Structure 1
Amino acid sequence: MGCSSDNASIEAQDHLDRSLAYQQQGQFRAAMIEARNALQVDPADDANLLHYANLLQEVGSSSQAEQLLEKRSNSNNPELLLTLAEVMLDQGKYISAGEVLSNLDEKELSNDTEYQRLQAIQSYLSGQHQEALEIYADLLDTHPDDPQLVGDYIELLLQSNQLTTARTAISSALGKFSDNPEFLYQSALLAYRQNDLNTAEVQLTEALFNLPETDIMLPGRINTLELLADTLTRQGKPDEALIYSRAIRDANPEAYAARQQYLDALNAASLGDLATARSTFEDILNQFPNNRQAALLLGLLRLEEGNIDEGEALLSQNIEAETAPVNIIRATALAQAEQGKPKQALAVLEKALLARPDDPTLLSLYGVIALSQGEEQAGIRSITKALTLSPQQTRLHLLLAQHYEETDQIDLALGHYRSAFEKNPADWPTTGAYLVLLTNADSTDTSGVMDTLATQYSDQVDALWLMAMTHYRQGNLDQAQSRLNQLLEIDPHRTDALIAKARLLSQEGNARAAVPYWLSVLNVNPENRTALNELVRIQSRQLSSQELINWLVAQQQSYPQAAIALRSVSVELAVNEGRLDQAKQIAQPDLHSEDPYARRIRANLLRGEAIVAANDLQWTIAIQKTNEALAILPDNTGLLTLASRLYQQTGDSEKAITLLDRGIAYAPDNLRLIMEKTELLQRGSPASALSYLQPHWEKNPSEQLAVQYFPLLSQLRPEDMPAAANLLLDNQPNSVSAHMVLASHSLNNGDHDVAVNHYETALTFSPELVPALNNLAWLKRDADPERALSLAKKAANLAPESASVLDTYGWLLHLNGESEQAISVLDRALALEPDNADIRTHREQIELSTQG
């Protein structure tokens, strides 16, 4: 083993020596090949790793060097850790670099020039500019002829805009190192910034002459060429500038092409052409998988397109929170939070805030996510700091106020709302939330806020809207109407105001006066289904179906933007009424349009043809027409239901279920489809139907599902009925069917008082529920005979054809001393059910009592 290890070390050293030789000759490609070979032969030797990392750094690949060195970030080798810190600083990652430097023994390295140099750069990047420059000044006192220290010092002076000191330092450096290309470049940069373009050109040309020739264009040459091209362009020498730009391009054509693609993608995105931008970024990543910038921007595009999963993944995998722009950090954290990864989002923001501790955007976002995770103190502290830094951002007051509202700290919430209102009453979302809380708290401050809005903002629609809604919440409907009228005079097309006006009129019992407002809503926004449904609901109370269709068609001229929506509902109503010819006539303008309403119109015509065929028992044609309609609206619940029923008529239950499953896959909570499938299964096997319905019930117990679930459960597992009813009550406390189940269960168990309570509650929500009236009347016959008789009479009036209800009513008439009328009622009951022994017995008992 020892011999093998020695051989590996010797071989690795050979590769390393050759790599160093190639590096000195400027043959970096060969140098990196030999460096990789050395590392592959002897990966444990830090010298091999450090040499390869230094090569990567020299050719401008600091990020790759960092990835290489991070694998040994737990090393005790100071040289390795110093190199890792340096490549991090090259990328601006001063926080990560600071963490690495903090792991080194400061006392042991107190006199180490490289350690002090990196400490200075880390301090500078963290904002401690003067401290960094002082460290460099001390180092230069000890090492005045160290070119790297001199170059770093000059660069920091230039970045700090200390141009006079920089000029002195550059002159001193060129006095000692007249042909040093870095100092020549820095001198040219200073001249360029002072618009001394001739001096800049001369010194850049000299710097190029003194730069070593290499097979890979190094960052120093690229920077020099770029500045020289810019200088020549500003001098009016574009042809000469183009020569140097081409030199950069020709040195690395692939990178140039990728950069051009990158710029093209950015341009496409700025013009709104997201598809082209996305495609271009994807091409870049296929060629250069490690291009973080392209990956981040592709992630942003994915979010913009609504693809949160892929967008979040791209951003999370490529984000460098220390150096990324705030907008990318914000997008990443929001996407992570939306994807249920709040801890990741907070971690990204924590790292970003180390680099930007005073950024209000990051602080407020951190606060919001922290509060959502129950980290109250951290969240409040972060938002409060953001508010201190940016006191005019009243939305920060809103964030804190909403938190205090949610935690029932109303006084604190009102305090933040009050501060926001004092700073900016025209922050309408915040002022709106303030008014809602004031109204709910019945605060006397409401009038003051309303007075401010009325006197200072009476011509602004948002203020009028808030005043109208506040009046409405206070029950001042006339004042609410007045403010809405003012608003609509200024902006007659504001949808929320039109809707509010229509609802207020309906609430006051003047639904017909609301019709023009609903029409206006539809004219502004033809996609507003609520407006369309309200129009049909209101007018159907006044008009026959045919009159309603004619009225809808007639409104098209006055409301042209709503015309296609009106035709759509007219066609649907005509088809429902079996007036297919009229539907086709109405649909004429839309037969070749691809508008969503037009597609709905054509689908409804096909539905009408399917219904006609089905009525004639032409099942094949009916199915064909329904399938054509489904090709237009593939996820339409009504069409899927119709198609399923048609297939059932042909005996193809499997196809019927497949269609229903298709709809349920698209809309897993669609109760209409779930219940349709349950009904279909029940015909074959009640147990299968219950098994299918059970998970839907457990997920969302509802009054609608109870219509099917309770009968199936009663038939197959009656012992589970009380638990099912209680589950429904937990989800819907006003559930009448749940109270009826529990009442029946209590009645059967002899617990009459509990049964009475459940029947009473059911009648509170459904006063004309005959079974509850009938059973409660029977249970109350002794304790409250007068009320019992009243309940029984109401039940009998509602269900005059129910023998059992008439039986209860007749017997209670008898108990209340009205035997003659009781016999008459029981005779009606016997006429309905002549063989009912209980009713006959009751009649005989009453007749005997009257004879006695």
Structure 2
Amino acid sequence: MIADTAPRPARRIGRHAGLRLSVAFVLALGVAGCKSSEEQAEEYYQSALQLIQEGDTGRAIVQLRNVFDADGTHYEARRTLADLHRQEGRIRDAYSQYLRLAEQYPNDLPTRIALARLAVDTAQRDEFERHATRARELAPDDPDVQAIGLSQDYLNLPDNASMEDRTALFDQAARLAESRPDDVLLLTMLLDRAARMGELEQAGGLIDRLIALQPDNPQRYQQRLAWLVEQGDDAGIEAHLRATVERFPDSLDAKGDLLAYYVTQNRPEEAEAFLRELAAAAPEGDNAAQIDLIRYVEMNRGAEAARAEMQAALDQGGDPLVFGTLLAGADYAAGRQEEGITAIQNLLEGREPSAGVRNVQVQLARMLIDAGRSEEARPLVAQVLAEEPGHVSALKLQAAWDLEADRIDDAILALRAALDSNAEDVEALNLIANAYYRAGEPDLMRDFLARAATASGNAPAESLRFAQSLLSEGRTRPAEDALLPALRADPQNVALLALLGRTYLTMPDLPRAGGVIQRLRELGTPEALRAAQELELAQLSREQGHDAALSRLQELTADANGDLDAQMALLRARLEANDLEGAQSQLDALLADDPQNRMLRQAQAVLASAGGRNDEARTILDALIQEDPSEIAPHLMRLRLVAQTEPRDDAAALALVDDSLAQLPDNPDLLWAKAGLLERTGDIDGAIAIFETLYAQSSDAVVVANNLASLIATHHADDPERLARATIVARRLAGTTVPPFMDTYGWLLHLNGDSARALPYLERAAEALPEDAAVQLHLGIVQAALGQEQAQSQLEQGLELAGDLQGSTVATARITLERLRNPAAPPEDEATQTN
């Protein structure tokens, strides 16, 4: 091995020669008493060495840094500083100094060796490769380099490498370790061999040796923990976890491991006692440990016990802003919303601005929003952002409001600022994904959904959302990849399993879909069994057809021994198959056992309507509404019944929907139904007003957004302000494959001057919706704008479908058609033709 005391690189020797020449020259001129920069650097360096010998490393580091002010390439000083940082555990600082040496002296072997070993300790795989490779180029026969080379070769083995290939490297490591018994790289390889061979006693000894050599390396303590778990030594595990906490008192992971051990061992008293130890030992003003204790007590002993802990913390002199806010939050969560809000408002009164005050103001804002008092929350958030423009929680609240108001660009700016502070903020990642969705940027939306899933630790909600977005685009393999890590973390999550099953059916991969069905059955919960049944029926339908699925459903219903959910599933399947006789027979039997069951009576109304007995259906639904007007389903069924009755009576339907709205004011389903009726009767502005109301209630609803934008674009394209509104609302439809959405988005592209991009959207929409007059007219107008020959026949077909329909689209279509028939005639209205 090349010792650390090896001579300096030649460059340093040459510079000393130059120094001697310079000094001689200066003396010859008679100039005395001046020190060169290298002399000054050497003086600082010698002073640093003396201080290190005296144990005063703090002042030594100052002197070493002074060296670099005089001579930035002083090899020994920088090497000494790097070694000092390494010895005292400042690994990042050490690595930085060694890296500087490698830049200045690229062929210096000790530096490359130090960098390679530090890269292993800090899990920097690419850096290890770089420096290990260079060290092997410089001195392949050096024992230190040979150990590094063996480690590099072992790390680069493929995952499927044979045991024979591994054993060859293990044997080399064992031979080299005979002369290097304390080399942690070699010992780590030998530990891996012992673990793979199941030699637990040898593994334990190697771990002990590694801990002795690297007492401040947390990885070694994790290896000891894994060894103890493998041994089943519960007493040893607890003692080791305690020792790890003592060794790493600032490590949240170490404390979390001990707490998790107590929880998994069902020892809540010891867990709580440990948290009390941490709270008692916390520095004054550090409330994190006390808050952790309160949360654990709430989880383990309930809200009232946690509330008592909060009060005790206050009584013992705890910060009122912290623990008073927690108390107020507990009141709010317990349903005492006004009490909780008032308590926080009182806590904030008269306080000077500070980071803590701003955090509480944002918490108050969230409470007000949840209580339906957003207008009171907005000034609080504005005040926080005025004082601290980068406050992450306030930025997220403001971004959510911007999204609701379709200020998409403002929302994205706010969320990017939030993510600059914390790139792993799951809430901000979800919000910005939604913002890009509404901006018509599906690729960016998907990227941020993926980041949210990763940042959440593959939590179910984020993983489901990401996988659903992939599945909606037919990307089944990536959807599977998104779901599997989440299921490894939460293997009993029914929603994840159900979506995985649907993914396999879509591929199709029926054997693996069958595996998911079996897993759901094994879980045995009602939710899991329902999901298993749905997947099984879908699988049967795909493999053997609808009749086989219906037959299996009948078997399941018999096995369910009268379970109403199973009976209703069978009933729906019979209706879909138009087996009215079988459905009626089944329903009669169910009603005989439970004649007042509202779900069965609704099914009775559906069957009566399907059999052409509309009066009977109406009587049943009227009775259901009279008995319980708060249930929405009978109202909607009655409206559908009237809407389907010939001759159509829109006035009667409007009267019914108004009657239902009187009993269920602002119900979104009823408002939707009324908007459809108003559109059908020609009251377009009335329909638009309702969709504006629905959009204000739920601006994330894509169908609401589409219908609002479509109505505006179709009937008010000649109003620039309203057209701009429709364009903003519809941005999220970019790239859509849903025919009504394609029509809306394509038509708006044309209205905004991009007819070429509009054409493929409108062609696919018109093909899928051949009976929709507006869709056919939109295509004809765009074809005309692009000079296509088929425009005239397309417009004639659309106008025939339109009948008495009015609006700017129909007017434009008529003018466009007239121009095509009489190209020499002057345009009737130059402005209208562009709409």
TM-score, length basis structure 2: 0.50
Higher relative contact order, chain-length normalized (CA < 8 Å, sep 6+):
2
Q: Which has the larger radius of gyration?
A: 1
